[in-house]
Structure 1
C-alpha cells in the first residue's frame, strides 16, 4: 500500500519572550523525561463519560454484526456490533447509571447520491418526555474508492460509515432516567445505525482565570460567522507582549488558516463551550517554538476527505520545550496532533480525538521526552498514535494510558524507528484494515537506535487483513521492513484478546535481532498464537497461548527462540 504521511512545514524555534509563569508552572508539573513508567493501576484512559453500547440497550431494531469483514458497517462499529433504526417508531434506549447533561452519539446515516452528504435529525426522549433532537449528517463520513479515497459514490467501496455528534441538553437527567433514541416521522434519514452513546455531566462554562486577557476585549468576536484568524493572531501577539495568556470565552470562532503560537497560553471555557471551527481543509493551531499551553477547547474541522498536500492538522508544529496541551476535543480535521522537532518535553493529555482523516497523533522527527496520556482516540483514518523518526530519531517519548478505538486504516499505535520510546498501559480495540493493534516497525523513517518498550497494554479484536499485500497482520506486530531491528524490542505484560489473526507476528524482510517477550497473554486468535517469519532471535518467558485457531506457534525464516520459564500453549 502506498501511504504518504502528512508533512507539516518545518519552522525554526523562536526564543521565548515574556514567558507566562502559569504556563511554565503547568509544564513543570506535567512534563519531563518520558521514559518507561511504573505500572498504572488501570489500563486505558480515565474518561469523564459513561459509554452505552447500542447492542446492549433495549431495542426493537435489528442487530448489526458481529462482523469484521472490511467495507461492512459492523467492521467499523465498537465491539463489531450496532443496531439499525429503520422503521418510524424504532428505538434503542438505555437506563442512565450516572447523572447526565451532555450526550455524544456515534452513528451512521446513508450518504447522499452526490456524496456531498445529507442532514437529518434523531429524536431523543427522557422517561417519555421529548428532549432537543440530535442533529446528524453524513457530510463527514462516507469515503469511496482507493486510498486516499474520494467523496464520489461512483468510485465504489464505500466505508468510513460513522460520525459523531454531541449536544448539551440544557438540563440534568438523574441516574435511573430511561433515555431513548427514536426514529420519528420527522427524522428523515432512511436508516440510523447506532453504535454507542456517551453520556456525561459536563461542567458549566468556566470563567477567565487570572493572568489572562479576554479575546473579546482585543477585537475577536465569536458567533458572528466571520473569519477570526487574523484577529486571533493579533490578539495572541498582544497578549504575549503584555505577559498574559489569551482567554477565549464560550462561543464559536471561525478560522481559515493557522493560528500561531510561540510561547503563549491559549485557554477556552471548556471542551463543550469554546469551539475553533475550521473551514474547508484548513484551520488549526500552529506551534512556532517557545513554551505554550493549549487548554479547555474544541477544534472542529470541516474536512470531508483526506488531502495531504493542502490540509492542515488541528494542532501542529514546533512546541519548543515543556509545552502543555490539555482538555482539547478534536474532530473532523486531517490530523489531530502533528508535532514536529525540535519539540521537547511536551505533555498532551485528556484529549478526545475523533474522526480524523489521517493520524490521530504523530510525533514527527526528532521529538523528545514527549508524553501523550489519558486520551481517547477513535475513528482515525491512519495510525491513531504514531512516533515517526523521519529526518531524526524520536527519542524517549511515551504513549501512556490512552484508550484507542477503531482506527479505520493502519495501527492503534506504531513506533517507526527511534530510541527509548514506549507504549504503555493503553487499551486498543477493533482495528479495521491494514492494521495491527501495536506495531514496532522500520517501514517508515530511520532505523531503531535504542530500546523500544511495549508494556502492559490490552489489545482486543485487533490485527487485520492487508489487501494490498494479501497479508494477515497480527495484534502485536514487529516488522523489520526497510532495515534490520538490531536494538532491543521489549514486549512485557501485554494481553492480546480475540485477535483477528495471529496474536504476535514477527516479520519480514530483515532481521529482528533482540526480541524480549515476557508475560504475554494470548487468549483466542484467528490464526496462530505466535507467528514468526524473520531472521534473528528472541527470548520468551511467561508467554501463554490459548484458543489459537491454527496452532500455538508458526516459526520460519531462521529465527531462534530461547524459551525461559512459564510458557505454555505453544
Structure 2
C-alpha cells in the first residue's frame, strides 16, 4: 500500500510555488482564485522540454477553488484517486462546485471527470453546469457509459460478474481459485477500474485570462469527481476551398443520416481528380470502416469536424475474428499491399466502444499506411486510437490527442519501420499508451518523440516489445495505474528479440512504478523484462529524469520459471536523475548487468540497490552485476559493487517528498 505523507501545508506550499511561477499571488484553495497551471500534476518548470505541446493548459481540480472534497493523493489501484492525474481529484456532491481561473484567454475547455456506474453496469448520464464569471451558463451531459470495467482481463461491464478466470492466480487470496476449496469469496464489484472520461466544450466566445470557469453539480445530479480542466484558444474552422467537399456527395453534417457512403464517393472522386477531400464543420455519422488509399482528407479542425459512429454487431464473425465494426479510417491490409500516400488531418473520431474484445477491429485508425501522415486528430472512445499492422514504412503521426480508449493509444505492430510518433497527447488508455510490438517481424528505426502519456489504467505509458534501432526520446509519462509502468522494454508476447540499439533519451517519468498483481511486487519507473528471450541489445538510457517513483526507478526482472534461461545485459545509464524512489534506485531480479555513469539520486526510501539477481545467492555474489563508470555519488557505493547481494524481496515503501528543482 502506498501512503503518501503530503500534508495540507505541503499542498499549500505546492500551490504557492506554482502560482509564483505564473506571476500571480499565492492563495490556498479555499481563498481567492489563483491560476495554478501544471503539467502532469507538476510545476511545468520540472518537465520543461519534455512531452507534447498542443496549446492547452492543464489545471488540476485539487488546486482550484472548491467547496467539494479533495480525494487523495493515493496510488492504490481500483481507487478514484489512483486513476486521477497527479493522484488527487475533487469530489462534488449536488450543489457543490469547483472553480478554475483561466491562465490565458480561452474559448474551449476539456473536463476530465468520473460519475458512478449504473447499479447493474452500463453507465448513467448526469448534468454538469458550466458558468463563466457567474453568467453564460451551459450544461454538459456527463456519461459513465464508456467507463467502469470490472474483474480480470479482458474485463467485464457487469459489476456483479463472478471471477472470469477460475484457473488464474489471484493476489487477493494468494491462491489459484479452482484449486481452492471452497472457492474464494471476493467482494463485488471485483477490481473496478477505468473510472474516468473526458468531455470537450466550445464556450461560444473567447474569455480573457482571469475569467472564472465554475463547474457545479446541479441538484438531483450524481456525485461527480472532477480531476482537471484543460483550457485553450481554438482557432477558427479551417476552410479548404479547392477540394471534394463531402456535402456535395450527400454527407449529412447534422449526424442524423449515415454519411459513410457519401465519404466513399467523395474519396473516389478526389482520387480521380487529384483533389483533397474536405470535411466542413459538422457531425457525420459513420458506422463502419472508411478504407483510404492515396488520398488526403482534411477537416475544419478536431473541435469542429466530428466523425461519430455506433458500434455495430456483425451478423457473423469476420475472417479476422471481429464480432463488431464501427467508425474508423483504415488502410488496406499489409498482405494486400497496404495503403500509401494517405494524409489525414483536422477532425475528431468519436467511437462507441464500451467493452474489450481483442479480436474486434474497432480502432480509430487501423490497417497499414506507408509514406503517410496523420496530424491534428482527436480520437475518443474507440478500442485503440491507432493500431497499425505492418509491414509498412514511413508513417508520421503528429499533434494528435487520444483519450479514453479501451486498449492502447498507438501501437506499431509487426514490421513498422522508419516511422515517427511526435508531439501527441495520450490520456486514459486501457493498455499501453504507445507501443512498438515486433511480433513476427521487427519494428525498426522508429521514433517516439516529445509525446505525453498520462494515466494509462493498465500496462505501460511507453512499451517496446523487441525490435531494432528504435528511439524513445523527450517524452513525458505520468501516473501509470497498474501492472505496468512508465517505460518498458519486454521480451514477451511472442516478439522478435531486441537487436542493434535502443535509445531511451531525455524522458521524464512522474509518479511511476505500479504494483504488479501477479508477482506482488512494485515495478520500476523503467523496467526491463526477460520472459521469452534474452534482452541483450545495446540499450542507452541517457538524460532521463525519474521523478517520485512509487517503488524503484529502474527494474530488471526475469519471470521465476525462466530466471536461469534468460538474462538482461548491455544496459547503460548515463546523465540520469532520480528524484524520489519509494524503495530503491535499482532493483535487480534477473541475471545480467548494467553500467552507470553520472547517475544522481536523492530521496531514496530503502537501500539504493536491491540486488537479488536470479535468487541463487551464490558465494560469488549476485548474478546481476552493476558497473560504476564514475560520477554517481554516494548511492552507488563501493560495497554494492559489482554484484553484492542486497536482496529484500519486498522492501517497505517510504514515500518521497515531492520533486523539486535540481541544483
Q: TM-score, normalised on structure 2? A: 0.78
Query: Aligned runs of 1:44-193 on 2, under 5 Å?
Result: 44-88=51-95, 90-155=96-161, 156=189, 157-185=191-219, 188-193=220-225
Indicate whether 1:220 and 2:220 are aligned: no
* Residues 67/386 of structure 1: CA separation in 2 closer, same or farther (3 Å cut): same
Q: Say which of 408, 422, 425 aligns to 1:373.
A: 422
Which residue of structure 2 aligns with residue 524 of structure 1?
Answer: 580
2:585 match: secondary structure: strand
User: Comparing 199-208 with 415-424, which one deviates more in the overlay?
Assistant: 199-208
Measure how far apart 1:357 and its partner are.
Answer: 0.4
Larger Rg: 2
Q: CA deviation at 1:246?
A: 0.8
- 2:282 aligns with 251
- Would you say 1:317 and 2:367 are equivalent positions? yes
**Which of 625, 641, 648 is matched with 1:560 structurally?**
625
Counterpart in 1 of 2:544? 494
Deviation at 1:276, TM superposition (A): 0.8
Q: Counterparts of 2:98 and 2:592 in 1: how far apart (Å)? A: 53
Give CA deviations for 1:88-146 in whole Å, capped at 9, x if unaligned: 2x111111111111111000111112312111111112111142111211111111121
- The whole-number CA distance in structure 1 between the counterparts of 2:299 and 2:59 is 28
Kindly indicate whether residue 441 of structure 2 is the aligned counterpart of residue 441 of structure 1. Answer: no
Farther-moved stretch of structure 1 (539-548 vs 379-388): 539-548
Asked whether the 8 Å contact 1:107–1:195 carries over to 2, the reply is yes
CA distance in 2, matches of 1:299, 1:332: 8
In the TM superposition, what is the alpha-carbon distance from 1:443 to its structure 2 partner?
1.5
Q: Which whole-Å deviations, capped at 9, do the CAs of 1:356-396 have from their partners, x for residues lacking one?
A: 00000000111011111111100000000000001100000
Matching residue of 2:401: 352
CA distance in 1, matches of 2:392, 2:283: 29
- Per-residue deviation, 1:231: 2.4
1:548 aligns with 2:592: no
Instruction: Note the C-alpha offset of 1:485.
Output: 1.4
Alpha-carbon distance change, 241 to 567 in structure 1, aligned in 2, over 3 angstroms: same
Conserved in 2, the CA contact under 8 Å of 1:313 and 1:336? Answer: yes
2:375–2:399 Cα contact (<8 Å) kept: yes
Contact 2:510 2:547 (C-alpha < 8 Å) held by counterparts = yes
Shift of 1:209: 4.6
The residue that corresponds to 2:233 in the other structure is 201
Query: How many angstroms apart in 1 are the aligned matches of 2:101 and 2:362?
Result: 40
Tell me whether 1:286 sits opposite 2:317 in the alignment: no
Match of residue 461 from structure 2: 412
- CA drift of 1:496 comes to 0.5
| Pairwise CA distance, 1:493 | 0.8
Q: What is the aligned counterpart of 1:275 among 290, 306, 314?
A: 306
Structure 1 residue aligned with 2:9: none
Structure 1 residue aligned with 2:184: none
> Shift in Å at residue 554 of structure 1?
1.4
Alignment match, 1:477: 527
Secondary structure in structure 1 of the residue aligned to 2:376: strand
Aligned residues: 526
Aligned pairs for 1:297-308 (under 5 A) are 297-308=347-358
Could you say what secondary structure the match of 2:153 adopts? coil
Alignment equivalent of 1:466, drawn from 500, 505, 516 = 516
Secondary structure of residue in 2 paired with 1:420: strand
Whether the aligned pair in 2 keeps the contact of 1:450 and 1:487 (CA below 8 Å) is yes
In 2: Cα distance, 1:105 partner to 1:311 partner:
28
Residue 334 (structure 1) aligns with: 383
Which residue in the other structure is 2:620 paired with?
A: none
Farther off after superposition, 122-131 or 348-357: 122-131
Moved more, 232-241 or 476-485: 232-241
**Superposition deviation, residue 253 in structure 1:** 1.2
Deviation, 1:545, is: 2.1
1:35 corresponds to: none
SS at match of 1:463: coil
Query: Counterparts of 2:81 and 2:240 in 1: how far apart (Å)?
Result: 44
Q: Report 1 or 2 for greater relative contact order, CA contacts < 8 Å, sequence distance ≥ 6.
A: 1
Q: Measure, in 1, the Cα distance between the counterparts of 2:110 and 2:598.
A: 41
CA contact (8 A) 1:214 1:246 kept: yes
Unaligned runs of 5+ in 2: 1-46, 162-188, 312-323, 333-338, 614-622, 637-663
Conserved in 2, the CA contact under 8 Å of 1:142 and 1:159? yes
Q: Distance in 1 between matches of 2:555 and 2:231?
A: 37
Deviation of the 1:41 alpha carbon: 7.5
Give ranges in structure 1 of 5+ residues lacking alignment: 1-39
Q: Which residue number in structure 2 is paired with residue 393 of structure 1?
A: 442
User: Normalization by structure 1: what TM-score?
Assistant: 0.90
* Cα deviation, residue 479, structure 1: 1.3
Greater Cα shift, 176-185 or 226-235: 226-235
1:535-565: CA deviations, max 9, x gaps?
A: 2222210112222212110123212222111
Q: Deviations over 1:215-269 (max 9, x none)?
A: 1112322224222222212321221111111111111111111101111111111
C-alpha distance in 2 between matches for 1:356 and 1:227: 24
CA shift for structure 1 position 315: 0.3
Confirm or deny: 8 A CA contact 1:131 1:169 kept in the other structure: no
Q: Which residue of 2 aligns with 1:455?
A: 505
